[in-house]
Amino acid sequence: MESAAVPQVGVVAFVITGKSILLGKRRSVATANNVFAPPGGHLEFGESFEECAAREVKEETGLDIEKIEFLTVTNNVFLDQPKPAHYVTVFMRSVLADPTQVPKNIEPEKCEGWDWYDWKNLPNPLFAPLEKMVRSGFNPFPSE
């Protein structure tokens, strides 16, 4: 991670299948250890939120996503860590371009593996920004 002197932009992708989302357990990363989080990463210069979500999901899971839509944005300040950080976190939702595709753990040094979790039965502990969102009652699913 870069210097935390200024707020940074993180883009997070909910990949939705039915009422489940894709989560992985993070390993030794500055902002979060051993917590479950969706795929995501830093917004690159010139990139749209949709492009960033698709790129990060591809890089981390090998999956191709579509119907990528903006959900919400949250402000996350991580002061209680060796290198304090501040993220403006953009949450996107998406679905699999090919529903038969299976996630691969492409960055095993960063993640223990990916799996689908029912929104009503999420694992613990969740990464703080997601935990906050779940506790607020946020619903990421399209209304039908």
Q: Which residues are near Mg ion by CB under 5 A?
A: 41
- Rounded to the nearest whole angstrom, what is the least distance from the CB of residue 42 to Mg ion in the complex? 8
Positions in the binding site for ligand 8DG (CB under 6 A): 10, 12, 29, 31, 37-42, 76, 87, 89, 127, 129-130
Query: 89 vs 8, 71, 97, 98, CA distance in Å?
Result: 8, 11, 24, 27
Cβ contact 130:34 at 8 Å: no
Say which entry of ligand 8DG, Mg ion, none residue 31 contacts (CB below 5 to 8 A, set by partner kind).
ligand 8DG
Location of structure tokens 């403006």: 88
Q: How many residues does the chain have?
A: 144
103 binds, among Mg ion, ligand 8DG, none (CB under 5 to 8 A by kind): none
In the complex, the smallest distance separating the C-beta of residue 122 from ligand 8DG, rounded to whole angstroms, is 12
| Least distance CB 105 / ligand 8DG (angstroms) | 13
Query: Computed over its alpha carbons, how large is the radius of gyration of the chain?
Result: 14
